[in-house]
Structure 1
Amino acid sequence: MNTRRLKAPSLAALVLALLPLSGTAAEPWAERVVTDHVDQATLAGPLDRATLLALRAKGEHLFAGRFTVLDGVGRPLATQAIIPTKRKRPPETSFARTSGMDANSCASCHNQPVTGGAGDFVANVFVSEGFESFDFDSTDPQFSNERGSNHLFGAGLVELLAREITADLKTIRKAALAEARATGTPVTRELGSKGIDYGAITAHPDGVLDMSRIEGVDADLTVRPFSQKGVMTSLRQFTVNALNHHHGMQPDERFGMRWTGERDHDGDGHDDEIGAGDVSAIVAWQATLPPPVRNVPDDESWQAAAARGEATFAAIGCATCHKPSLLLASLKFSDPGPADMAGTLRTSDVEDPAIYDLGLLAWASRLPRNDKGEVLVPLFGDLKRHRIADRQVAVLGNELLAQRFVERNVFMTAELWGVGSTDPYGHRNDLASLDAVIRAHGGEGREARDRYVALTDDERGTIIAFLKTLVIDAEEEVK
């Protein structure tokens, strides 16, 4: 029989040795992904570069690994609901597109063009309102919304922007309430941050708030930048939800003893499947993914077309929502974050949140900055929800269910960085070209869409040429 020598431990394996772990490691050939748990208690305050890289390496291992029954994959008695609830009866099969597990690995859906990227149509997922009583198996549009998977590159920057905008909006609200109490008269204040208009709020002397003019954000003024509807507050919440929903891997911070009174909430015979430190590792990996880049084509005609297309993109109004960049004051990512709430680890649950300083990574030095040192995050988005369908152009309003009280035809502006690497398009991944998804814009995007349709073929082509330069660098390494 032919044999070959097993390779020496990789650099990533050696880096992992830096991390404080709990539990007993399994044999290297064991069919499992979770061999040790990261000790959350050791993740406090600013992490030095070596520890951050070690943590993200552990997170990449968990994100890309294919969970098995030895890890506790599958959830025979747990539902996909946000609030931990039980099914009336176990599903007939362990693999089900709606009931979980529907994928062994996070990378099963986030893989285009590399791990952490987007998903093709074949990897679409199904979501429901999902608060408490989701206990059925159906991909029928009356019960489940079908969604494509967004890419996660630059996700840490996106969450940091959302945190700063949230803080600005709540500061405006607090000042309006204080002024109304002091003057005895109603006070109306415009809600805006980073050049984004979120409407207005009126505070009354008795503390009552008129929130009827708030636009594109929840009434609590917390920007929730993740998911296509903008209903996930943080990478941590997104991760905890997805582990249970898609893999049947229950994080202790939501499904453990503290909240459910049991260590095996899903009844699969495996206790304590994912610890808080494991979630932190997955969050650290996602938060430190480099942002997409602007590719400069070698073809000079493409360069010229892209330059004209970018100018036309702005001129017809696309940049009103797809803002080329937003200013970010700090690159320090705290985990848990200031907006994490019940169901995820919170700042009140730890002595000190861990701080992942994105400025320690090589890619951060390449981000553009203004004369104040603020980072210009080139996301081509506005972190705001918009109505994106109307009666005449209804393609992007094709869902039958609301989600988290967000109406069916309202979605978060898609960030366009990386769009050249992540076709197909649309919320269902059912639009095969950039031209098709632009033409599908209705509602608040209708005027810009109509201007696009009215352009000549050549002018429309230059916009496509520009968008095709916004790509994910599949060869970039985080160092």
Structure 2
Amino acid sequence: MKRALSFTLVATTLAACALEPTPIPTAQKGSARALGVYTTNLDPDLERQAYDALARDARRREHRFLDAVDPEHLARSIRVEQSDLEAGLHPPEEIFQLGAQLFHATFTPPMGYGGEDRPHLSRFHQGRRGGPDAMRCASCHWRGGPGGAGDAADNSYLAGDGDRQSSALARNPPSLAGAGLVELVAREMSAELAHARASLVAAAKAAGKPARGPLVAKGVDFGELEARPDGGLDGTSLLGVDADLVVKPFGWKGHFASLRDVVEDELNVHHGMQSTWLVAHADPARIGPFGGTDPDGDGVTDEITEGQVTALALFLAMQEVPISDLPEEQDHIVRLGAGEARFQALGCAGCHVPSLSLESAVFTLPSREGGASVSVDLARDAAMPRITPPAEGGSLRVWLYSDLKRHDMGPALAENQADRGVRPGTFLTRPLWGLARSRPYLHDARAPTLEDAILLHGGEAQAARDAFAALSEPERADLRVFLTSLTRARRLSVP
């Protein structure tokens, strides 16, 4: 079986009292190097991993004591300016550490948490602005490893009346493993679609009559587009993508094209932490009615710098690649092979496309303020395990099991309202990589098992769902074994 990267770590249990953590280095306030709590390395020696996990926990506890003595310590430690990142003052490993610190930081009112007209914590959000509903990113993204999924208890209830769950849209935190590669694939797909659009426009102008043609990116069918001689476009036959032809791979409904957009929206909605960019450019319905440099009226300005947005976006982009973890027993290996074949035969791979090609693993964030871009090479700098070239050569393959399109999922999953223009029953195809470590399943975590999730499919997936329902129990077992192999590398970590 082809995989971008695949290996198995053997589990072990170590008694904490038998371990001696490495000494804690003297920290300098605000020093990125002193914050070396998180690393992109994955030591194959699990005993060494355990030592490192205890050392990380000791450093984090020490930082909490430092913050108790000096409440501004944490805020200074996670402060980073865009100009420093653009100047190359922080190598990729330090950027990863800075982003990780932000991801695990506890936001407080003196740092800008919440807003004057927002509750301190609220399960049910009022309108577009959010709760806030958590004080740390890691509070909800924890299952299965760094930047992981959340449990059903971690659901957010968005865009409601602030009181009733029934008025809101339930959203379970998705896993962000491999997120940088997902964005890179989507960028390349968007570029292919833009090129096809430009070709149609040119053909229509040259012929003096409408030109119609298919839109395909990386083998994925996005319907058809018609261009008119005057440059106008008819996108009524598009499939699974907006009229702008930008593939948006993030959010359950596919609302976000980039991790930078995700970071800014999630900080604002879930924590009331507003970036300087949002403050300068977003409308009051999104950031608050008080205007000026403090639109949420909490008395704090410059809550999140552009540099912090960049560091956090790059931390998410540098998350490791999920793996295929092969079973040890021969019978299970045979079942896995049968299950993978059945995945194809049922039609699941029509939407959950096993792999998409990728021309470049360099993740670049262009400056939004006229400065230089910041780049990391995910094949070299990301957390381990990383993407690797296929043994047979050719383009990189991203084994994400998704076409990154929106699909109608039928009435069983349809919500009671549209979500920012996306119809109630339409959802983005969720990548299946890392699946075994991201339960419960579906956008609202209603499915405790894989079978429950499959049987709730409808709409465009109805035929595949019915074919699965008709399987015998041994045949279902084969598919379950295959899906269970889609997981993440095991890490010993202290939450």
TM-score normalised by L of structure 1: 0.84
Counting matched residue pairs gives 430
In the other structure, the counterpart of 1:425 is 441
Deviation at 1:370, TM superposition (A): 7.0
Deviation at 1:7, TM superposition (A): 3.9
Query: What is the rounded CA distance, in whole Å, between the counterparts of 2:35 and 2:482 in structure 1?
Result: 43
In the other structure, the counterpart of 2:91 is 51
Query: What is the rounded CA distance, in whole Å, between the counterparts of 1:434 and 1:349 in structure 2?
Result: 45
Deviation at 1:210, TM superposition (A): 1.0
DSSP-derived class of the 1:278 partner:
helix
In the other structure, the counterpart of 1:149 is 173
In the other structure, the counterpart of 2:80 is 38
In the other structure, the counterpart of 2:11 is none
Q: CA RMSD in A?
A: 2.7
Query: What is the rounded CA distance, in whole Å, between the counterparts of 1:178 and 1:104 in structure 2?
Result: 51
In the other structure, the counterpart of 1:16 is 33
Once the two structures are superposed, residues 253-312 of structure 1 have per-residue CA deviations (whole angstroms, 9 ceiling, x without a partner) of 111499886222211121111100011110110000011110112232222211110111
Q: Answer yes or no: is the 8 Å Cα contact 1:148–1:429 preserved in 2.
A: yes
Amino acid at match of 2:303: E
Pick one of 414, 424, 448 that aligns with 2:430: 414
Note the 1:94-113 alignment, pairs <5 A: 94-97=120-123, 98=125, 99-113=130-144
In the other structure, the counterpart of 1:290 is 320
DSSP-derived class of the 1:104 partner:
coil
Deviation at 1:12, TM superposition (A): 13
Deviation at 1:183, TM superposition (A): 1.2
Does 2:190 match 1:173? no
Query: What is the rounded CA distance, in whole Å, between the counterparts of 1:56 and 1:7 in structure 2?
Result: 19
Query: What is the rounded CA distance, in whole Å, between the counterparts of 1:435 and 1:70 in structure 2?
Result: 46
DSSP-derived class of the 1:34 partner:
helix
Q: Answer yes or no: is the 8 Å Cα contact 2:35–2:97 preserved in 1.
A: no
TM-score normalised by L of structure 2: 0.81
Q: Answer yes or no: is the 8 Å Cα contact 1:438–1:449 preserved in 2.
A: yes
DSSP-derived class of the 2:364 partner:
strand
Distance 1:10 1:35, change over 3 A: closer
Query: What is the rounded CA distance, in whole Å, between the counterparts of 2:294 and 2:431 in structure 1?
Result: 38
Q: Answer yes or no: is the 8 Å Cα contact 1:64–1:115 preserved in 2.
A: no
Note the 1:296-315 alignment, pairs <5 A: 296-315=326-345
Note the 1:73-472 alignment, pairs <5 A: 73-76=113-116, 90-91=117-118, 93-97=119-123, 98=125, 99-128=130-159, 136-142=161-167, 144-256=168-280, 262-336=292-366, 347-361=367-381, 363=384, 366-369=387-390, 373-389=394-410, 394-397=411-414, 399-472=415-488
Q: Answer yes or no: is the 8 Å Cα contact 1:191–1:200 preserved in 2.
A: yes
Query: What is the rounded CA distance, in whole Å, between the counterparts of 2:217 and 2:281 in structure 1?
Result: 40
Once the two structures are superposed, residues 170-191 of structure 1 have per-residue CA deviations (whole angstroms, 9 ceiling, x without a partner) of 1110111011111112111110
Query: What is the rounded CA distance, in whole Å, between the counterparts of 2:350 and 2:28 in structure 1?
Result: 45
Once the two structures are superposed, residues 132-190 of structure 1 have per-residue CA deviations (whole angstroms, 9 ceiling, x without a partner) of xx8x4134333x10111100000000000110000110111011101111111211111
Q: Answer yes or no: is the 8 Å Cα contact 2:354–2:400 preserved in 1.
A: yes
Distance 1:139 1:295, change over 3 A: farther
Once the two structures are superposed, residues 304-362 of structure 1 have per-residue CA deviations (whole angstroms, 9 ceiling, x without a partner) of 211110111111111111111000001111114xxxxxxxxxx4523222112212237
Query: What is the rounded CA distance, in whole Å, between the counterparts of 1:366 and 1:221 in structure 2?
Result: 27
Q: Answer yes or no: is the 8 Å Cα contact 1:367–1:377 preserved in 2.
A: no
Amino acid at match of 1:251: S
Distance 1:11 1:301, change over 3 A: farther
Query: What is the rounded CA distance, in whole Å, between the counterparts of 2:379 and 2:419 in structure 1?
Result: 35
Amino acid at match of 2:217: S
Distance 1:312 1:258, change over 3 A: closer
DSSP-derived class of the 2:212 partner:
strand
Distance 1:297 1:264, change over 3 A: same
Q: Answer yes or no: is the 8 Å Cα contact 1:111–1:117 preserved in 2.
A: yes
Q: Answer yes or no: is the 8 Å Cα contact 1:419–1:468 preserved in 2.
A: yes
Deviation at 1:35, TM superposition (A): 1.5
Query: What is the rounded CA distance, in whole Å, between the counterparts of 1:268 and 1:44 in structure 2?
Result: 30
Distance 1:431 1:476, change over 3 A: same
Deviation at 1:367, TM superposition (A): 2.9
Identity %: 35
Which sits farther off after the overlay, 155-164 or 180-189? 180-189
Q: Answer yes or no: is the 8 Å Cα contact 2:379–2:387 preserved in 1.
A: no
Note the 1:61-76 alignment, pairs <5 A: 61-76=101-116
Q: Answer yes or no: is the 8 Å Cα contact 2:104–2:137 preserved in 1.
A: yes
Once the two structures are superposed, residues 413-438 of structure 1 have per-residue CA deviations (whole angstroms, 9 ceiling, x without a partner) of 01000111111111110111101111
- Stretches of structure 1 that go unaligned for 5 or more consecutive residues are 1-5, 20-24, 77-89, 129-133, 337-346
